[in-house]
Structure 1
Amino acid sequence: MDKIHSLILHFNDFLWTYVLIISLITIGIYFSFKTNFIQFRRLKDMFKLLGEGSAEKGSVSSFQAFCIGTASRVGTGNLAGVASAIAVGGPGAVFWMWLIALLGSASAFIESTLAQIYKVKDGDSFRGGPAYYMEKGLKKKWMGILFSILIIICFGFAFNSVQSNTIAAAFQSSFGMNKAVVGIVLTILTAIIILGGVNRVAKISSVIVPIMASAYILIAMFVIAKNITAIPSLFALIFKNAFGIEQIVGGGIGAALMQGIKRGLFSNEAGMGSAPNAAATASVSHPAKQGLIQTLGVFTDTLIICTATAFIILLSGEYASGNLTGIELTQSALISQVGSWGGTFIAICILLFAFSSIIGNYYYGETNIQFISNKKIYLYIYRIIVIGMVFFGSIASMQFVWDIADVFMGLMAVINLIAIVLLSKIAIKAYKDYASQKQVGKDPVFYASSIPELGDEVEQWRDDTVSNTNEAI
């Protein structure tokens, strides 16, 4: 087992150091230029689009789809992952985390717009994602099946085990609760929600996500206000450690860059191919609308919530001791700022953050199970395994599962990045169609005929099938 674990670690180092870091930055820069830096120029549109509702009963609104995506993004990576990145890579890791979010948000727009273009009808709502645009856009179903298998294992099983493990550990630390008891409660709650289907997932996510994010941001703002005079030196510390001479000599820039990008991707998932599964569920009048909303999800996750955690930790100075990492570092940092109740607050945040991730992660697996086969038996088997993995994660040692998850996460990202680069012309043309309609004061409505290359592979945007639902939004 030790040899296998060692091989996994070596493969992870190669995959992340020589493949993903270069790919993510290069492709992020490419998409930023091709879309004229849409992540900045259309920021106002992103917020306005969140208010658009779904006109058809039973369908998923833009906001609900945003919440499903954010539910998966916002999890242990925002509290424990950021802490680990700072503990290993130093304060400079925060800069690289910001950079990958700013560049990656352009990739998030491309992948989520493609998910909307190639989505398929699923009862009253829709489903789609990378597997679907690989099959319909690239005509490579084998590629879609491979991606589906990777995301099912990574999100449905491994990441859900990690989330439940973090919840159980936090509650054991703060309240002395038995991990098995916590696991049983989580398992029951998970079963109730996921057996209700995508609409129940959407409704639960749209309640949990705003509450948990708002509470955490308010606490972070209090800590920042308390230390307001230290903010200029805090930014200086981050930039100094990201580019400082001593970091170059000691190899610290490499550690900061690696940790910032790796944990940044784990948290915001830009370019990984996970969030497009949520983006495809929304009922909107134009694919670019949901692309913009999911771009906002990257900003919400990294530039707001991850930054809140980073500031709490760096302002506390707790990271400098080197004795703590992960969720323990975040808890210790907040306790030093607000008192002993800070540890309890973090435990509750972890419950909401990580449980919302379990819900979102489950859905990503479900839509990819349906891509592979429509037989209900496979979906039921998947649900049973997910429920079992939630309980297993709450009582198991997770380091090996974390490392396995990193492999699958990396492989997912590689496959998805290849697909979105090959299909990027379609997404960019869809954006230009959106922009041209906005310029003349229209509420953009998309028809597949506006992009001749789409052919007959697009089910939901043909001129004769664009629904009244989409036109009414």
Structure 2
Amino acid sequence: MTEFLDTLNSYIWSNALIYLCLAAGVYFSVRSRFVQVRQFKEMIRLMLKGEKSPSGVSSFQALTMSLAGRVGTGNIAGVATAIAFGGPGALFWMWTVAFLGASTSFVECTLGQIYKTRDRITGEYRGGPAYYLSRAMAHTKAAPLFKVYGLIFAAVTVLACGLLLPSVQSNSMASAMNQSWGVSKWVVGVCTVILLAFVIIGGVKRIAAFASIVVPFMAVVYIALAMVIVIANADALPGVLKLIFESAFGLDAGFGAIVGAAVMWGVKRGIYSNEAGQGTGPHAAAAAEVSHPAKQGLVQAFAVYVDTLFICSATGFLILSTGAYRVYEGESATGAVLAEGGALPADVEVGPTFAQVGFDTLWQGAGSSFIAVSLAFFCLTTIIAYYYMAETNLRFILGKAAPVPVPLIRGTVGGNATILLQALILGSVVSGAVSTATEAWTLGDIGVGLMAWLNIIGIIILQQPAYKALRDYEKQKKQGLDPIFDPIPLGIVGAKFWETRDPVTGKERMAVPTPVE
């Protein structure tokens, strides 16, 4: 089975997907006139100012929900893995994919808002790739094809977010706690399941409330303490920067043979971390209450910066400036050691231990505990976000058979399916906690890769409404207005939710029933 999964992963994460991710980012950046640069100030303004309603969360809560999915083990263990198998240059390619991916995130998240809907039972806003894939072309002859495409994406997302991806998070969390405090991995898995069950049963509102408190706090604390370590090793920074850029382009003789691996691991771990193009961000984006879809598209583009340029960079500089790294040949820990910083013990496992050792260089004994606590919060919020996305896509597949989340309607198709999904993700958490890191990461990479293939191809085809929304938003801003979205004059078809909004006030027209599904 391990050999089969490795082979499958190698096909999914071939050079074709790497080139597709980079090319899509370049294309979306050019088409949007580098919206990720032009609208940077607007991203920050919108992040701090937003609306919410009984049906939708605020822009900031939607951002934190999105970050809950983005900020996880990829920001610590993922960066360490990228450096170990791709060299320090992998960090440069993570920056590259983040910068380009911000435009990709804008497109997919704006589409998520345009084609969102109101859940027919809970009243909450829901959306994502499955929704825009099935709706954007609903008025064309290709409608049946895209309906099937949407169902395929939904099924893959349920599989990825419900089974494959949670195991990576729980594995890193359990490994860090076992390394730091000797806690049994089984205990970590069971305790995580108990906490997870309490939050996910509460629905999107409880998920948003939990994420809006935990994610910003832990992100700020982690970045601040990592920067303290980096500043304490400021004399090493010039050498670190030189190492990163020489390794990224094979200018250093020691890394010349693995320059391809630097690109591969930088892009792979970059997408795993910031999720731009993977199709996860649009789920949180669709849950937001905004007057114009472009608003949330801009906020979600900023989330990519927060994840990779801030948190991943903090981890990368922490590891490299303290010498807590080791680079292996052949993209495997069994390969020959090409380079190392000298701070790692001989038998250390590739993963969060790199960051733990880095912290210990300044706060001896405290590093392991801090990384373990950070991973506990980051991974828990990520697993919660995964459940929300898996549930959203399950409800899309079930349609009218989708049940009321609490209490569950047992004995019905929808009720049984929801119970099965909850059991699936809880089981994945426990099995991931006690499995090996290699097995967990292989499953996670397969899940990310499958979603990325389907979503990026989809948004390349469906991108036009996102640009129309952006131009409309910028036009209204120049007129001194608070932009309000009306899809009809823009020629955007299938945005049924927005068609019921008053184009003057942005509020729902009470005389027209709100479309629900």
Q: With structure 2 as the length reference, what TM-score do the two structures score?
A: 0.87
Judge conservation of contact 1:449–1:463 (CA < 8 Å) in 2: no
- Matching residue within 297, 315, 337 for 1:291: 297
Aligned letter for 2:379? A
- Matching residue within 387, 391, 394 for 1:366: 391
State how 1:111-260 maps to structure 2 within 5 Å: 111-122=108-119, 123-138=122-137, 139=143, 140-246=146-252, 250-260=256-266
Distance in structure 2 (CA, Å) of the matches to 1:412 and 1:467: 37
Distance in structure 2 (CA, Å) of the matches to 1:278 and 1:59: 10
1:460 aligned partner: 497
Q: How far is 1:468 from its partner? A: 5.8
State how 1:226-375 maps to structure 2 within 5 Å: 226-246=232-252, 250-319=256-325, 320=340, 321=342, 323=346, 324=348, 325-373=350-398, 374-375=401-402
Judge conservation of contact 1:28–1:104 (CA < 8 Å) in 2: yes
Judge conservation of contact 2:247–2:255 (CA < 8 Å) in 1: no
Choose 158-167 or 347-356, whichever is displaced more.
158-167
Distance in structure 1 (CA, Å) of the matches to 2:84 and 2:42: 37
Q: How far is 1:170 from its partner? A: 1.2
Aligned letter for 2:76? L
Aligned letter for 1:356? T
What's the % identity of the aligned pairs?
A: 41
Which structure 1 segments of 5+ residues have no match? none
Distance in structure 2 (CA, Å) of the matches to 1:431 and 1:469: 17
Q: How far is 1:469 from its partner? A: 6.7
Task: Give SS of 2:56's match.
Answer: coil
Distance in structure 2 (CA, Å) of the matches to 1:166 and 1:55: 34
Distance in structure 2 (CA, Å) of the matches to 1:23 and 1:465: 39
Task: Give SS of 2:125's match.
Answer: strand
- Matching residue within 440, 445, 464 for 1:425: 464
Judge conservation of contact 1:71–1:205 (CA < 8 Å) in 2: yes
Judge conservation of contact 2:168–2:444 (CA < 8 Å) in 1: no
Cα distance change on mapping 1:470 and 1:22 into 2, 3 Å: farther
Distance in structure 1 (CA, Å) of the matches to 2:500 and 2:197: 40
Distance in structure 2 (CA, Å) of the matches to 1:441 and 1:308: 38
- Matching residue within 64, 68, 75 for 1:67: 64
Distance in structure 1 (CA, Å) of the matches to 2:220 and 2:129: 31
Cα distance change on mapping 1:371 and 1:381 into 2, 3 Å: same
Judge conservation of contact 1:247–1:253 (CA < 8 Å) in 2: no
- Matching residue within 443, 466, 477 for 1:438: 477
Distance in structure 1 (CA, Å) of the matches to 2:489 and 2:233: 53
1:404 correspondence with 2:443: yes
Distance in structure 2 (CA, Å) of the matches to 1:423 and 1:59: 25
More helix by share: 1
Cα distance change on mapping 1:459 and 1:73 into 2, 3 Å: same
Q: How far is 1:57 from its partner? A: 3.5
1:388 aligned partner: 427
Task: Give SS of 2:54's match.
Answer: coil
Q: How far is 1:318 from its partner? A: 1.8
Judge conservation of contact 1:446–1:461 (CA < 8 Å) in 2: yes
Cα distance change on mapping 1:185 and 1:466 into 2, 3 Å: farther
Task: Give SS of 2:118's match.
Answer: strand
1:450 aligned partner: 489
Judge conservation of contact 2:171–2:440 (CA < 8 Å) in 1: no
Q: How far is 1:127 from its partner? A: 0.3
Distance in structure 2 (CA, Å) of the matches to 1:353 and 1:154: 18
Q: Deviations over 1:391-413 (max 9, x none)?
A: 22222335334213322321211
Distance in structure 2 (CA, Å) of the matches to 1:396 and 1:239: 35
Distance in structure 1 (CA, Å) of the matches to 2:11 and 2:52: 48
Aligned letter for 1:269? E
Which structure 2 segments of 5+ residues have no match? 138-142, 326-339, 404-414, 509-517
Task: Give SS of 2:482's match.
Answer: coil
2:408 aligned partner: none
Q: How far is 1:465 from its partner? A: 5.6
Distance in structure 2 (CA, Å) of the matches to 1:470 and 1:301: 33
Choose 181-190 or 197-206, whichever is displaced more.
181-190
Q: With structure 1 as the length reference, what TM-score do the two structures score?
A: 0.94
Aligned letter for 2:362? Q
Q: How far is 1:298 from its partner? A: 0.4
Cα distance change on mapping 1:55 and 1:195 into 2, 3 Å: closer
* Shift >6 Å, 4+ stretches: none
